[in-house]
């Protein structure tokens, strides 16, 4: 979060939203029938005097970003866009119940649509959309990207999962849907973080994003879960669209799906380059296709460092900054207190200690711009012991990553090393446990 207070004559356009955004009201009236798409929500700001979610180092670029009408209109449109295909299927809950919708999706993913007796047209459209192949897709490059990601993911994710998860609810406008689902206790916070880790880990297994892969099915279930949250929240009658916009809009899906890609793009640009290397490009294609399966529009899936940066920063430049102690604070406290490292004994204790320090360091450096005072203001403090734990974790993690990079560079050990990493991914998935990716409306909290 950051503060901006500048004078400017900048006046954004207020053109009608694109037809496909407005069509949500007519196509899915159970969810969007009462939405006035002519009113932009409070969360969307183009006033240079407002506080927004831009890191301090980029604040001087806000006016420049807002002056790019094409990119600004893209972010504006997807601030008011859900997932039309999955939303239409989730809107069938009154007829089928949420459990049957999940079961039919499971069967369609496992055995094909023909296995689902009397499959509703909305399920056929949902699966059909996921089965489409975008023109840019090179599935072999996606597989290459997954292979390259395994090393860092399996060794780093257990230490950064908590910190990355915290970042998703530091803004009250984007955090409220999670708060309403009842994810406020230590146990449920850990479970939701594990579900997130389970999804991304599953997509890195060999063949995971092919039609019959586990990652394809996990993406379908994540999409349905998000759509069910939208449907349940919007049907409650307690959600204020004029303040919060559409629950879990596409612009809020983008950071979760592309955080690694954005950080890589930042490293590329900071190094003075404007293009990805072939190895980096493979990782980008993995992330883009994974996001495509999650329902993100291609307008948000740039494939260049500068394009990725522009979309990311424009979202931050338009998202009003607001940390709500009751909403964001409760989620933060629950996640900080959650038990994220399993096992007993001295080694598990050491890992638990390292994870606690490293997750704080990761959060402060990547989401607070390195500002410890700002992090402390939202409840994340780092003691000398935490710093020692983080430094120990850095040495531990990077030592393992470097070792497997060395093995990958040697032809005779390359395949053996990859098999070892796949085995580590499988064990990590076992640690996370079975991820249901479901949401129970009976446990939702009242809206604020």
Q: Confidence band (pLDDT; 50, 70, 90) for 13?
A: low
Query: Between 366 and 120, whose confidence is greater?
Result: 120
**Nearest CA-CA partner of 301 in 268, 265, 270:** 265
**Residue boundaries of the structural domains of the chain:** 84-434
Q: Alpha-carbon distance 448 to 443, whole Å? A: 16
Helix, strand or coil for residue 44?
Answer: strand
Q: Are 4 and 50 in contact (CB under 8 A)?
A: yes
Helix, strand or coil for residue 8?
Answer: coil
Percent of the chain predicted with pLDDT > 90: 66
DSSP secondary structure, 275-329, as one string: S--HHHHHHHHHHHHHHHHTT--GGG---SHHHHHHHHHHHHHHBB----TTTHH
Mean pLDDT for the stretch of residues 431-437? 71
Please check the confidence at residue 185 and state whether its pLDDT lies above 50: yes
Please check the confidence at residue 184 and state whether its pLDDT lies above 90: no
Q: Alpha-carbon distance 131 to 409, whole Å? A: 35
Which helix H or strand E contains 270, and what residues bound it?
Answer: helix 250-270
- Report CA 420 to chain centroid distance, whole Å: 27
**Nearest CA-CA partner of 306 in 51, 57, 71:** 71
Please check the confidence at residue 165 and state whether its pLDDT lies above 90: no
Please check the confidence at residue 279 and state whether its pLDDT lies above 50: yes
* Residue 338 CA: distances (Å) to CA of 69, 163, 256: 43, 12, 20
Mean pLDDT of the chain: 88
Helix, strand or coil for residue 2?
Answer: strand
Please check the confidence at residue 325 and state whether its pLDDT lies above 90: no
Torsion angle, alpha carbons of 262, 265, 271, 274, to 10:
-150
Q: What per-residue confidence (pLDDT) applies to 229?
A: 92
The number of CA neighbours under 13 Å toward the Cβ of 344 is 0
Q: What per-residue confidence (pLDDT) applies to 88?
A: 97
Convert the pLDDT of each residue in 34-93 to its tens digit. 999 989 999 999 999 999 999 888 999 999 999 999 999 999 999 999 999 999 999 999
Q: What per-residue confidence (pLDDT) applies to 57?
A: 87
- Please, what is the angle between helix 328-337 and helix 186-202, to 10°? 80
DSSP secondary structure, 46-85, as one string: --TTS-BS--GGGGGGHHHHHT-HHHHHHHHHHHT---HH
Q: Alpha-carbon distance 349 to 393, whole Å? A: 13
Backbone angles phi, psi at 52, to 5 degrees: -130, 175
Convert the pLDDT of each residue in 388-427 to its tens digit. 999 999 999 999 999 999 999 999 999 999 999 999 999 9
Q: What per-residue confidence (pLDDT) applies to 187?
A: 63
Mean pLDDT for the stretch of residues 247-255? 93
Query: Between 164 and 343, whose confidence is greater?
Result: 164
Indicate whether this model's pTM tops 0.75.
Answer: yes
Q: What per-residue confidence (pLDDT) applies to 236?
A: 81
Q: Are 411 and 140 in contact (CB under 8 A)?
A: no
Q: What per-residue confidence (pLDDT) applies to 444?
A: 41
Q: Alpha-carbon distance 406 to 294, whole Å? A: 34
Cβ count within 10 A of residue 290:
27
Q: Are 209 and 289 in contact (CB under 8 A)?
A: yes
Backbone angles phi, psi at 82, to 5 degrees: -95, -135
Which helix H or strand E contains 436, and what residues bound it?
Answer: none
Convert the pLDDT of each residue in 326-344 to its tens digit. 778 877 778 877 777 776 7
């Amino acid at each position: 979060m950051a503060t901006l207070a500048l004078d400017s004559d900048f006046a954004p356009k207020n053109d009608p939203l694109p037809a496909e955004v407005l069509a949500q009201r007519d196509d899915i009236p159970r969810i969007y029938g009462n939405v006035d798409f002519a009113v932009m929500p409070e969360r969307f700001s183009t006033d240079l005097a407002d506080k927004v979610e831009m890191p301090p180092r980029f604040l001087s670029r806000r006016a420049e970003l807002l002056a790019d009408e094409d990119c600004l209109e893209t972010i504006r449109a997807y601030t008011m866009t859900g997932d039309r295909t999955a939303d239409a299927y989730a809107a069938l809950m009154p007829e089928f119940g949420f459990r049957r919708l999940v079961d039919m999706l499971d069967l369609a993913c496992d055995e094909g649509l023909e296995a689902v007796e009397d499959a509703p047209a909305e399920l056929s459209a949902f699966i059909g959309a996921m089965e489409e192949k975008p023109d840019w897709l090179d599935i072999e490059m996606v597989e290459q990207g997954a292979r390259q990601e395994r090393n860092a993911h399996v060794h780093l994710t257990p230490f950064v999962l908590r910190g990355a998860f915290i970042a998703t609810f530091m803004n009250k406008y984007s955090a409220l849907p999670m708060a309403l689902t009842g994810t406020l206790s230590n146990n449920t916070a850990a479970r939701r973080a594990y579900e997130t880790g389970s999804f991304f880990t599953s997509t890195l297994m060999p063949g995971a994003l092919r039609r019959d892969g586990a990652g394809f099915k996990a993406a379908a279930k994540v999409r349905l879960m998000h759509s069910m949250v939208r449907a349940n929240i919007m049907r409650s009658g307690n959600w204020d669209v004029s303040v919060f916009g559409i629950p879990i809009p596409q612009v809020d899906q983008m950071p979760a799906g592309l955080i690694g890609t954005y950080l890589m793009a930042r490293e590329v640009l900071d190094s003075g380059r404007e293009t990805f290397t072939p190895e980096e490009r493979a990782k980008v294609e993995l992330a883009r296709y994974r996001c495509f399966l999650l329902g993100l529009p291609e307008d948000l899936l740039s494939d260049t460092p500068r394009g990725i940066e522009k979309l990311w920063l424009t979202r931050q430049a338009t998202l009003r900054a607001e940390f709500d102690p009751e909403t964001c604070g409760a989620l933060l406290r629950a996640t900080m207190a959650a038990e994220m490292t399993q096992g007993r004994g001295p080694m598990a204790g050491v890992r638990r200690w390292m994870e606690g320090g490293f997750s704080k360091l990761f959060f402060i450096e990547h989401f607070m711009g390195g500002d410890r005072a700002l992090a402390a203001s939202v409840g994340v403090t780092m003691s000398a012991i935490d710093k020692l734990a983080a430094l120990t974790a850095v040495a531990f993690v990077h030592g393992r990553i470097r070792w497997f990079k060395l093995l990958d560079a040697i032809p005779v050990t390359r395949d053996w090393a990859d098999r070892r990493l796949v085995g580590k991914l499988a064990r990590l998935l076992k640690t996370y446990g079975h991820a249901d990716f479901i949401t129970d409306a009976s446990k939702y909290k009242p809206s604020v």
